[in-house]
Structure 1
């Protein structure tokens, strides 16, 4: 409103202002003419001759009014006659926002000229309310009219006692009018009406029309507030099951009406998710023993718990169930004899300038000037002892937690340069399903906090039984799949596999039944499949390998699964090699938390630009990347390019040597530049993409100077 008010003060050339106002007026008449009888699916009727004449007369009257109105507006004439003229204009066209802003200026002018007389002030403001009500009678979905009424009430001198009565009048005309519902929330806040009373009002509105989406939505807003502050009688374990019963009446009365389904989806979200953020996994995990080397390891220790780096730092990863901020050395304390780790810097794994993330990383130092090799060190990590970790929704990490692991620092091993090419076709041995290391995974990566799940499980189980009785329908199958997914998330491992198998079948059915939403079903099918793979030792072991040619590095092979989306990364923090080839991925979103990842195969996917690889910039250990046979460079217009910085808005590329020496190529390949320059790759494969060629290869060699292998060929150094 402040913006529109300020716009009214801009002095435009008289002719231009008249033209703009006339164009808006005629556009309104055209809109009314076109949609007359064509709103909400009703067929449009042809005008009768007498209706054509009436419309022409209305347009002529508007033209006559607008010329005088614009003259009054630009000359700041606020006499009674001038204001009455704007009233007539708004009676014909309630969407004339310039006229509403003019009236605001006129009111301010009147109030500035009178003494503090409450009766006179009330008379002026009541007149504005009358004009608004008249305009709403013409079009009760007028944005300008509702905003003007809010502005009048915000002046604080007018009675709000009859506002709810007025709203009842308009909501009877259209019970789902979101303008009226938005204004109702404004009035309720202004009058301090209780949320419980408003909740009762939604009962009445839903009772008279259960397809009232706006009433269901307002109910969710009110309940969110009441549940969050634990108002009397509004505990989740009591209230949410009651709400399921309420919405069931709507769904099973008319399963084709969407209003109840949307509310049911909101209820399911309230059932599964907890507001308080939880720590879902970490690396290293609680109780683990890790072997740290000053270079590459010799493979004599378990590769699940081994890390080598020439930098002398290892990643400490915290993975939360929702985005949080405030992770720092004051909210996360490290108790260890390893020197130089008193004030660790924690960084969010997120886009630039974002201070919240699900994944946070610190890099403790394990090589210092003092000899420390051949020793074991206990490392205790404490989280939440001091307040400060807060979710993006404003909820505090309230349950303090600690985990302990043992770090064995070995003698320095000289890291040899990568002479041999890393192959994804041979040299892999499947992991022993009975391995102690593998069995440890399922206990080390579990959530530290158990939510109160009994009532949640019971509520979801009742809904599943109920929806199994619903006749086959798209929305019924989708809801059943969502319910089963929710149950799998809070169930014991023993029954998760059964749930995921049924979920996968349901989404396959939906992909066949509803082609218009195929990609959505495909994405959630991928999420369910990855959750199934990571839900148990048995499922995980079928995809887990050792790579002999990479010192027995841990490799997860998730190739040829038709995946279109990445999920369950929090269960794979220990992985060093990841094969996602021959899938249908469009981006690498979610991989940023895999801080141990050194080799990644993304060949034969559907990646369209380097900006879709933006999350890889966080992987400091990544040395091998295969993006061959994708669609990079194939599309001239690519919305994924906006995922990372553009030189149009960021001039930092001109500050380094490559940017200064190759400005034309940096501008042409800016998305590749911003991703590749942050990586320390030794092997890269981009064959089979439109972008591949001599020009791009020469550009890559300048951006990634440590590259040894490019497109399967060893570079001459």
Structure 2
């Protein structure tokens, strides 16, 4: 039996581990008690820093201890260093690669007197303290690489430094990402360092290219690359048009390598969005004004813009009436649909019949002739500039026939792949209900999302054909939500019966001229608390899932509502008192 190593029984090992853990817990608790005592007594000495160091090496997510550590450092900055500062933290049982992550710094001197004679520590002394803090956070990150508190403290120290070691920090990020290429804390910190240190984005683009080549599944690399390309394009470092095709080729290769990997698909979706934005800029309207509507019934002028405005568009305008009177409005009292920025602004104009509107917007004079009055809707509508084209069927799109052919080839190889099915469904010019129904079959967990996207395409196709018609009917289309409301502001009548709406949302508020809303035979159970339609007179929600009037009480926010039809709902008739007495309720 001699010469053999004694092997401990499992029970002995567990007992020994339990003793070690109890000892560590006792020491940890004792350090915490001392730390709280020192903080209570405003004692910011060397021992306090050591205590926080020991605690954080064991539990790097103890945010209050990080706060105490920052208080100590700020106290030294304002009142001078203690006589002796702790030695750099050394890691036990650490391999050479990880030890290299710890940034080296010179020993901190004992002098606590500034060069200018004041009591605070000198800049040079504090820079050494900050370097030791970077070294300490590296020690914590080796044991706790995804600690929010540690990464935040590292950022905090960088912001305190006069001359942060940006180059060394980038190298530290390289090492940490070699250990875990998906550590999003490190990716965020890298972006922070690059922004603070004005790191050349071309170098970072090369770095992300290397990371993507190493692993196509690294979503963090793709995301960082999209951020870099956007920033570089905005700052005119490069033109994203010049690199779009090469970027698409890279992600296309990744998609064909593993069609089920979501990371390259998200980057693919971003590239398509960039292509649409380019198309939008090419077809950008000359004017920011899309449409002007004169509502004779309510004496109201409505202006719709291509971009949301936070402030009123102008304070003075003039108009010509049908009998050739010239009227000037000053100090216009504007109102808007949204509480902050709004695409739609309107104001009262009085008892006039308008044929021309004149105003100055963004330094340009406009004289807009309104169309003839529609006798049914009592509206005059003028389209100032068409909505820009944004779909990928645009002839200027970079998604050419060859790229589409490759996507369709992938669909033949992977007919049940949700990513390729979704991509092709989204880039087609018109609604593809068959494709979305297939997606619901293969990926039922996201059926609500697919139904919403299908609804969006249906709305888009009808918006194009309904620029001036004040009536719109969309029945039996399985619609689940309302889209493109900014293009439907001229509607007086909207029928959405036999669809799949679950509620009446505040998005209907944008339909500022709508007087009749029919939503019979849906699945509506409630009305949003912010629901408030300015012109609505009749709301029909027959044969839905409404249980009581409390759930549709917000309809009282509509100032002109006269008729509420709730026939066919299993609703308690005794609760009608919560609605205005002037409202005619059909039960």
1:699 aligns with 2:574: no
Q: Which moved more, 1:140-149 or 1:336-345?
A: 336-345
1:47-446 mapped onto 2 (5 Å cutoff): 51-111=17-77, 112-113=79-80, 114-116=112-114, 117-157=122-162, 159-160=164-165, 161-231=167-237, 234-273=238-277, 279=288, 281-284=290-293, 308-309=296-297, 311=298, 313-320=299-306, 323-330=308-315, 335-336=319-320, 337=325, 339=327, 341-350=329-338, 354-367=339-352, 377-380=355-358, 383-385=361-363, 403-406=368-371, 444=383
Aligned to 1:594: 511
Secondary structure in structure 2 of the residue aligned to 1:584: coil
Secondary structure in structure 2 of the residue aligned to 1:252: helix
Is the 2:534–2:560 contact (alpha carbons within 8 Å) kept by the matching residues of 1? no
Give, in whole Å, the separation in 2 of the partners of 1:401 and 1:229. 33
Alpha carbons of 1:604 and 1:153: their partners in 2 closer, same or farther (altered >3 Å)?
same
Please give the root-mean-square deviation of Cα atoms over the aligned residues, in Å.
3.5
Is the 1:121–1:157 contact (alpha carbons within 8 Å) kept by the matching residues of 2? no
Shift of residue 145 of structure 1?
1.2
Shift of residue 267 of structure 1?
1.5
Aligned to 1:464: 404
Aligned to 2:524: 607
Is the 1:573–1:594 contact (alpha carbons within 8 Å) kept by the matching residues of 2? yes
Is the 2:496–2:518 contact (alpha carbons within 8 Å) kept by the matching residues of 1? yes
Aligned to 1:10: none
Shift of residue 260 of structure 1?
0.8
User: Larger relative CO (CA 8 A, sep 6+): 1 or 2?
Assistant: 1
| Residue ranges of structure 1 left out of the alignment (5+ in a row) | 1-46, 285-289, 291-306, 368-372, 387-399, 416-436, 489-498, 545-553, 635-667, 713-717
Aligned to 1:482: 426
Give CA deviations for 1:44-89 in whole Å, capped at 9, x if unaligned. Answer: xxx9665555444432332232222222222222222232122122
Alpha carbons of 1:159 and 1:579: their partners in 2 closer, same or farther (altered >3 Å)?
closer
Give, in whole Å, the separation in 2 of the partners of 1:364 and 1:577. 23
Alpha carbons of 1:217 and 1:100: their partners in 2 closer, same or farther (altered >3 Å)?
same
Alpha carbons of 1:121 and 1:700: their partners in 2 closer, same or farther (altered >3 Å)?
closer
Is the 1:280–1:447 contact (alpha carbons within 8 Å) kept by the matching residues of 2? no
Secondary structure in structure 2 of the residue aligned to 1:684: strand
TM-score by length of 2: 0.79
| Residue ranges of structure 2 left out of the alignment (5+ in a row) | 1-12, 81-111, 115-121
Count how many residue pairs are aligned between Structure 1 and Structure 2. Answer: 519
Aligned to 1:680: 560
Give, in whole Å, the separation in 1 of the partners of 2:374 and 2:488. 23
2:541 is aligned, of 608, 615, 627, to 627
Alpha carbons of 1:458 and 1:138: their partners in 2 closer, same or farther (altered >3 Å)?
closer
Give CA deviations for 1:662-689 in whole Å, capped at 9, x if unaligned. Answer: xxxxxx94x7555414321221113344
Aligned to 2:482: 566
Give, in whole Å, the separation in 1 of the partners of 2:164 and 2:578. 70
Alpha carbons of 1:174 and 1:689: their partners in 2 closer, same or farther (altered >3 Å)?
same
Give, in whole Å, the separation in 2 of the partners of 1:207 and 1:143. 28
Is the 2:177–2:186 contact (alpha carbons within 8 Å) kept by the matching residues of 1? yes
Aligned to 2:445: 516
